[in-house]
Chains A and B, each alone.
Chain A
């Protein structure tokens, strides 16, 4: 009934995705095996080891500090975007969240870096999602039905954006335009009055607004919200864990600066 030849890798890989946060913990005990992080190597390991299913009896498979900590976005060059795409994305991010005297905008807070690292990672490739055919268009309330993952979509969107701008503004790209023109373009995409060739401009704006704002407010380990600028702006204290002393203080402002999963603002590396 089950074709294991073709399903082996799928099974392991799908569990791997699940496992990134888990790290099975069982160093002692013959029935228990410590599970390794297999991402990307699942097929190679097949036949060498039966990592995965374990029997748990007699004691909890527990070991301190065995969980899988998050992987911070690495500093360095763009990992998904081309230089031109990155320029366009940073310019878009800076209009979605414009800089002001108190708080940097989308570009300097790292929102494009956030999107770049997300697109280069599992999210961009739709890892773990159901991507079996057939792909049929459906109602909006049935959810996204695209064969293309976000990575392919951004590639097509950003290319089409610069292409449209170049036709309209004599060879210039989006990032070259004055802010007022940039805003007009984005508003046109948002309303559908401006269409792109070969790409859905309205879908682009919807996704870009969502992703830029997500990068602004997510933990800085993902490359956006640099130095927790967004959290400081709104008064969110971050990855703190105990507010017992603050339950009963009506209308009193929480006094402490935010902390990230990676620590304090001054420890946050510049991602690029």
Chain B
């Protein structure tokens, strides 16, 4: 029997970055907030000790910090009409689990999207004409602008202590920063991280080719920092175990280091771990959320009533929970109706490995941080004229090698056998002198009518609910974009002095077995029209006005950057709308 808990003002589903930000903002407003997290509590000193966090097998290969597919997974196919099969073991992405969510094991690459990214459809149509876009591309404007988000990007960077070099201060282009970024109201809170030799060589080669390289904005701190909540962080020690690992050093920005210690001390905040929300409840009208139902690890079912529901799980889980709760009309690609599951996107990632003469180059590649690297933004968004190239979109390219953990980083030049004495010799000679940028080309993935999420007809989860089905493939536009960017990137690696370069392009069909990023987006997108978006520009659900859906599920399409900066800025933006407008007059913030 379901046990009913005392009603709260706010229930938050998922205690990662967006849940923590929202909890902080709404408890500041005096509301009584409970956050319900499917996974366990995790804390830096307890769960990520520097005595054994450097375990590539446990954390990277065996997915220690991630969700187990037997808890929840998805089915996958490339095309409508194909049979989707379950993702039995993680590959292309690795969904988070536990307090802190993806904020625990991210690299802390903290980007802002370009101003044009937020008005993408309008911008591209104006510049190139509507006929330049592929017919089945369903890109949209976000409904929110860069200028509206700027102060919230700033809030997140100052919460994290983000290290970087400003490229555009209030419209003035700054030497050494990214000249393409939107204007920022003030510099990064801490200076850019130091760049080891290989990254310096990349920057030099890029400059010689006429580009303007800049250090990647980093949530791995370059120096000690006290954040906006008075929490202290330490400088990154370049241990090279960031992505897929937790940081015990309080030098990677995460909910654990920047928010939770302050949040937990508030008397009007409670967290509940190891409890999976299985349904958002609505009243008979279907227009008002009454709270959530969750199941704890003993199988006990609980109802948590609340006046306001914040859905802040990982993007895919947001969409899945909306589908399982019957909130919003599911998307139908044949009829082109419905909104939940629409405009699902990922990222278009590729890389180029560079092999250098080992008698002349030693990069000590294990000296690295999660968001170290020198980047070039000339080929992102619409920073270049797409007219001659026949595609839209782009990405940053950069030497962003986040470590040289030896299971994944012992590469050999093209043509070397895969095993045996020649392989062994090549590994020995190349380990220290190879450049292996993790996501060297970090490209956009625009939206298409036939890339979407819905419920699988065959496979079920442990609660006997249908798995969510991913139908996703790379379209010609993204394949062309990736070829163009990868070739540009290879030119820079070659110019660094590599004796051999090994590009691996991203090609169709979309492959579930090789890791790209965990940046899956869309499915519950924001917009200005309820027939083509699930939430309004404040991330408020169009149909259920006391439900806000945070996270990258709101991205109408994906830009050529890591999403966390924008995900967090949107959370602050939505929190501000709730505090300043919704609480004064509950109900829809936008009427159409």
Q: Provided the pairs A96-B419, A144-B89, A219-B57 are in contact, do residues A243 and B68 lie with their beta carbons within 8 angstroms?
A: no
Neighbouring B residues of A28 by C-beta, 8 Å: none
Q: Are B407 and A66 in contact (CB under 8 A)?
A: no
B334 adjacent to chain A (CB < 8 Å): no
Residue of B nearest to A142 (CB): B85
How many Å lie between the Cα of A186 and that of B98 in the bound state? 43
Q: Provided the pairs A2-B278, A18-B40, A21-B65 are in contact, do residues A243 and B367 lie with their beta carbons within 8 angstroms?
A: yes
Q: Are B512 and A141 in contact (CB under 8 A)?
A: yes
Name which of B46, B270, B367 has the most chain A CB atoms within 10 A of its CB. B46
How many Å lie between the Cα of A141 and that of B55 in the bound state? 28
Shortest beta-carbon distance, B451 to chain A, in Å? Answer: 15
How many Å lie between the Cα of A140 and that of B67 in the bound state? 23
A19 adjacent to chain B (CB < 8 Å): yes
Q: Provided the pairs A56-B273, A62-B46, A98-B420 are in contact, do residues A50 and B298 lie with their beta carbons within 8 angstroms?
A: yes
Neighbouring B residues of A11 by C-beta, 8 Å: 295, 297-299, 462
A100 adjacent to chain B (CB < 8 Å): yes
Q: Are B463 and A2 in contact (CB under 8 A)?
A: yes
Neighbouring B residues of A126 by C-beta, 8 Å: 88-89
User: Per-position contact with A for B28-53: 1 when CB-CB < 8 Å, else 0?
Assistant: 00000000000111110111111110
Neighbouring B residues of A170 by C-beta, 8 Å: none
B431: which of A131, A145, A236 is its contact (CB, 8 Å)?
A236
A70 adjacent to chain B (CB < 8 Å): yes
Neighbouring B residues of A19 by C-beta, 8 Å: 40
Q: Provided the pairs A14-B462, A58-B265, A236-B404 are in contact, do residues A130 and B70 lie with their beta carbons within 8 angstroms?
A: yes
Residue of A nearest to B514 (CB): A141
Question: Which chain A residues in 1-50 approach chain B with CB under 8 Å?
Answer: 1-4, 7-8, 10-12, 14-15, 17-25, 35, 46, 50
Residue of B nearest to A35 (CB): B40
Q: Provided the pairs A15-B297, A130-B73 are in contact, do residues A251 and B362 lie with their beta carbons within 8 angstroms?
A: yes
Neighbouring B residues of A244 by C-beta, 8 Å: 235, 237-238
A67: which of B46, B65, B98, B460 is its contact (CB, 8 Å)?
B46
Neighbouring B residues of A138 by C-beta, 8 Å: 83, 85
Interface of chain B, helix or strand or loop or mixed? loop
Q: Are A242 and B57 in contact (CB under 8 A)?
A: no
Shortest beta-carbon distance, B565 to chain A, in Å? Answer: 24
User: Which of B336-344, B421-429, B488-496, B527-535 faces chain A?
Assistant: B421-429
Question: Which chain B residues in 1-58 approach chain A with CB under 8 Å?
Answer: 39-43, 45-52, 54-58
Neighbouring A residues of B150 by C-beta, 8 Å: none
Q: Are B61 and A214 in contact (CB under 8 A)?
A: yes
Q: Are A3 and B265 in contact (CB under 8 A)?
A: no
Q: Are A52 and B296 in contact (CB under 8 A)?
A: yes
How many Å lie between the Cα of A63 and that of B270 in the bound state? 19
How many Å lie between the Cα of A65 and that of B43 in the bound state? 12
How many Å lie between the Cα of A4 and that of B278 in the bound state? 14
User: Which of A80-88, A159-167, A226-234, A264-272 faces chain B?
Assistant: A226-234
Shortest beta-carbon distance, B536 to chain A, in Å? Answer: 31
Shortest beta-carbon distance, A87 to chain B, in Å? Answer: 19
B78 adjacent to chain A (CB < 8 Å): yes
User: Per-position contact with A for B81-99: 1 when CB-CB < 8 Å, else 0?
Assistant: 0010111110100000110
How many Å lie between the Cα of A141 and that of B511 in the bound state? 5
Q: Are A130 and B278 in contact (CB under 8 A)?
A: no
Question: Which chain A residues in 207-251 approach chain B with CB under 8 Å?
Answer: 209, 212-214, 217-219, 222, 230-231, 233-244, 246-251
Q: Provided the pairs A21-B47, A70-B58, A243-B366 are in contact, do residues A131 and B88 lie with their beta carbons within 8 angstroms?
A: yes
Neighbouring A residues of B260 by C-beta, 8 Å: 60
A95 adjacent to chain B (CB < 8 Å): yes
Residue of B nearest to A3 (CB): B464
Shortest beta-carbon distance, A194 to chain B, in Å? Answer: 16
Neighbouring B residues of A193 by C-beta, 8 Å: none
Q: Are A12 and B512 in contact (CB under 8 A)?
A: no
Q: Are B420 and A183 in contact (CB under 8 A)?
A: yes
Residue of A nearest to B83 (CB): A136
Q: Are B464 and A2 in contact (CB under 8 A)?
A: yes
Q: Provided the pairs A129-B88, A242-B237 are in contact, do residues A237 and B366 lie with their beta carbons within 8 angstroms?
A: yes
A253 adjacent to chain B (CB < 8 Å): yes
Neighbouring B residues of A70 by C-beta, 8 Å: 52, 55, 58
A18: which of B61, B68, B86, B463 is its contact (CB, 8 Å)?
B68
Q: Provided the pairs A2-B463, A60-B43, A217-B406 are in contact, do residues A261 and B89 lie with their beta carbons within 8 angstroms?
A: no
Closest 8 CB pairs of A and B: A52-B297, A53-B296, A128-B68, A234-B431, A250-B197, A130-B69, A217-B406, A242-B237
Q: Name B residues whose Cβ lies closer than 8 Å to a Cβ of A.
A: 39-43, 45-52, 54-58, 61-62, 64-65, 67-71, 73, 76-78, 83, 85-89, 91, 97-98, 194-197, 200, 235, 237-240, 249, 260-261, 264-265, 267, 269-275, 278, 295-301, 361-362, 364, 366-367, 404, 406-407, 410, 418-421, 424, 427-428, 431-432, 458-460, 462-464, 509-513
Please name 20 pairs of A and B residues whose Cβ atoms are closer than 8 Å in the assembled complex, sorted by A.
A10-B70, A11-B298, A21-B58, A51-B298, A52-B298, A56-B41, A97-B424, A123-B62, A128-B69, A128-B70, A130-B73, A139-B78, A142-B77, A143-B87, A143-B88, A209-B419, A238-B54, A243-B237, A247-B238, A261-B51
Seed contacts A54-B274, A95-B420, A222-B57; 17 additional CB < 8 Å A-B pairs? A7-B462, A18-B98, A21-B64, A22-B46, A54-B273, A56-B272, A57-B269, A67-B49, A70-B58, A130-B86, A190-B418, A213-B407, A213-B410, A236-B431, A251-B197, A252-B364, A261-B51
